[in-house]
């Protein structure tokens, strides 16, 4: 019973990671990835590793989505005709 | 396992589970709302876990999440603004329900720790969390209408 | 190699790997047991040097050399990004249009920006006392600056963020870590040995000898590295455009120069 919270967070991580792989569009993947960062941070916390959880939160909640979405925008702009894409 | 951990487990199973379901299926407008609400489900459960383990320093995780979670949502609101303007999300009820959940958690925890520096920290986290979620929700439903690329 | 052989190879090696993993898992100590030989020694060493957060003691004292490696990885990665994402010869800069952001969102960004920077500094400063440290705090502080881009526009961010200065600060922080390590050698002990400074009172900000200094160097390095990295990504996503236009003043110029380019290319 005491491990219920560990089981729940492990299940959440497994489901979210699978969902991140199953999505095809990078923007939607980034959305799933940011939620994956949160549940991973919870998993690290319940395994008593708050330092790692803190790193995961710092990187996963805002920085990774920003880097991915900026790359997506750049690639999209490159594919569009010149004066319509801004 | 004490009551705090039990509450955190339930909140994670229901709240974070719903957020994962919402973010991985359905149209984009539903996904961004679920991404925003994942913060308001996970942050209170981190607070409850810190209380359950009796480790006040774990509260830092919730503080960081309350600061950065809404920033992550603003990233999506800004960089997906073209698609979201065509099909804006409407989640007023959910947003206020999530804000109420955060407020209830913070109030209960404040009552548990009593007046101290820890209580001030809890109140700051609560204000950041609720304010951040409400503003991020507003940003999603048309806060970046005037943005074209910049 | 034919497709069939490759599939066989994958199947055989996969099965072998799975068997080895299962065999290794069967020999693991039980989950959540009470025997932690490495943990006990690390905690004892951390307490001997008055560092309350054992993780910080492992990162910046017992295994400070590993952290030096990690820091150089980040430094090299950012350097690679700066080289790869520079403005190419067939690209030009177009000034981004100003953005109109909803007032509550703009206010939120301007209020949370200083709070998040202070939060990041708090996490860095308390690295040796509570969970956190240079890496986590540095990322938070650097991310916070970019609220200016999210809440206002790119030009507002550019005004408060001289990238050159951050590049210099990044290198300075890396050098500071190295100099702190070399100071140990000069003092007659070993590279990065925590023997220079008094260990201080347990559970205060200045405890732990070298740990807070190394922690601060890492915090500065990570914050500057993230700012430089995001600056390159933002440049690519917002400012740099394809086509050989000159640095134009406004959109009209932009389109005209592109038309000219088109003519030249067509001719």
Quick check: B1 and A4 CB within 8 A?
Answer: yes
Answer yes or no: is A16 within a domain: yes
What does DSSP say about strands C91-93 and C240-242: parallel, antiparallel, or unpaired? antiparallel
Residue with tokens 């008055």: C50
Q: Tens digits of per-residue pLDDT, B37-74? A: 999 999 999 999 999 999 999 999 999 999 999 999 99
Chain C neighbors (3+ CB pairs < 8 Å) = A, B
Q: CB of B102 within 8 A of CB of B48?
A: no
Mean of per-residue pLDDT scores for chain C: 86
Look up the domain containing A29 and give its range.
2-78
Question: Mean pLDDT in chain B?
Answer: 90
Q: Which helix (H) or strand (E) holds C186?
A: helix C163-186
Q: List, for residues C56-87, the tens digit of each pLDDT value.
A: 999 999 999 999 999 999 999 999 999 998 88
Residue A55 near residue C140 (C-beta atoms within 8 A)? no
How many domains are contained in chain A?
A: 1
> Which strand (E) or helix (H) includes residue B25?
none
- Give the A window 45-74 contacts with C, CB below 8 Å: 50-51, 53-55, 57-59, 62-63, 66-67, 70-71, 73-74
Residue contact A54–B60, C-beta within 8 A: yes
* Span C168-197, pLDDT tens digits: 999 999 999 999 999 989 988 888 888 888
Give the pLDDT of residue B147: 62
Asked if residue B79 lies in contact with residue A73, where contact means CB atoms within 8 angstroms, the answer is yes
Element (H, E) at A11: helix A4-22
Domain assignment present for residue A86? The answer is no
Report yes or no on A84 lying in a domain. no
Contact B32, B89 (CB under 8 A): yes
Q: What is the pLDDT of residue C247?
A: 46
In a domain, A19, yes or no: yes
How many whole angstroms from its chain centre is CA B17? Answer: 14
DSSP state letters, C193-223: -TTSS---STTSTT-STTHHHHHHHHHHHHH
- Domain boundary assignment for chain B: 3-147
CB of B72 within 8 Å of a chain A CB? The answer is yes
Alpha carbon of A35: minimum distance to chain B alpha carbons (Å): 6
Angstrom distance (rounded) from CA C150 to CA C156: 10
C-alpha angle B71-B73-B78 in degrees, rounded to nearest 5:
95
Let me know if residue A85 belongs to a domain. no
3-class SS of residue C36: coil
Question: Residue C93 in contact with residue C241, Cβ under 8 Å?
Answer: yes
Tell me how close the Cα of A2 comes to any Cα of chain B, in angstroms: 5
Residue A70 lies in a domain: yes
Interface test with A, best of C139, C230, C251 (most A CBs within 10 A): C139
Of A70, A77, A83, the CB nearest to C255: A83
Is the minimum CB–CB distance between C147 and chain A shorter than 8 Å?
no
């Amino acid at each position: 019973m005491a491990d219920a919270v560990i089981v729940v967070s492990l299940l959440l991580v497994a489901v979210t990671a699978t969902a991140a792989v199953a999505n095809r569009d990078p923007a939607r993947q980034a959305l799933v990835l940011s939620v994956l960062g949160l549940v991973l941070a919870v998993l690290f916390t319940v395994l008593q590793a708050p330092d790692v959880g803190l790193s995961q939160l710092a990187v996963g909640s805002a920085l990774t989505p920003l880097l991915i979405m900026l790359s997506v925008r750049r690639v999209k702009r490159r594919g569009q005709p010149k004066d319509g894409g801004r | 396992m004490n009551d705090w951990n039990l509450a955190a487990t339930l909140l994670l199973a229901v709240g974070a589970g719903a957020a994962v379901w919402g973010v991985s299926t359905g149209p984009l407008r539903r996904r961004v709302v679920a991404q925003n609400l994942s913060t308001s489900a996970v942050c209170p459960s981190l607070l409850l876990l810190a209380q359950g383990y009796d480790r006040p320093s774990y509260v830092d995780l919730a503080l960081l999440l309350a600061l950065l979670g809404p920033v992550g949502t603003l990233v999506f609101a800004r960089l997906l603004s073209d698609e979201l303007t065509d099909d804006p999300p409407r989640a007023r009820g959910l947003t206020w329900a999530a804000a109420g959940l955060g407020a209830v958690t913070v109030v209960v925890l404040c009552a548990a720790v009593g007046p101290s520096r820890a209580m001030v920290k809890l109140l700051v986290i609560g204000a950041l969390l609720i304010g951040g979620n409400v503003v991020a929700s507003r940003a999603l439903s048309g806060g970046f209408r005037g943005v074209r690329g910049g | 190699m034919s497709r069939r052989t490759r599939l066989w190879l994958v199947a055989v090696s996969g099965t072998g790997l799975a068997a080895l993993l299962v065999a290794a898992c069967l020999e693991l100590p039980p989950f959540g047991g009470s025997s932690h030989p490495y943990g006990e020694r690390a905690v004892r060493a951390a307490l001997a040097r008055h560092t309350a957060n054992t993780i910080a003691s492992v990162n910046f004292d017992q295994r400070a050399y590993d952290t030096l490696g990690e820091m150089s990885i980040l430094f090299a990665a950012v350097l690679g990004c700066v080289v790869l994402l520079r403005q190419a010869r067939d690209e030009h800069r177009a000034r981004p249009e100003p953005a109109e952001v909803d007032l509550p969102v703009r206010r939120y960004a301007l209020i949370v920006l200083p709070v998040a920077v202070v939060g990041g500094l708090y996490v860095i400063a308390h690295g040796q006392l509570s969970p956190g440290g240079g890496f986590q705090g540095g990322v938070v502080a650097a991310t916070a600056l970019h609220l200016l881009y999210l809440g206002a526009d790119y030009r507002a961010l550019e005004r408060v963020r001289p990238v050159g200065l951050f590049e210099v600060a990044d290198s300075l922080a890396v050098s500071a870590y190295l100099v702190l390590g070399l100071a140990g050698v000069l003092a007659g002990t070993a590279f990065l040995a925590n023997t220079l400074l008094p260990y201080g009172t347990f559970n205060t900000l200045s405890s732990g000898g070298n740990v807070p200094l190394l922690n601060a160097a890492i915090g500065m390095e990570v914050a500057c590295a993230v700012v430089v990295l995001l600056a390159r990504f933002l440049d690519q996503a917002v400012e740099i455009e394809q086509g050989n236009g000159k640095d134009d003043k406004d959109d009209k110029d932009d389109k005209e120069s592109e038309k000219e380019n088109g003519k030249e290319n067509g001719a």
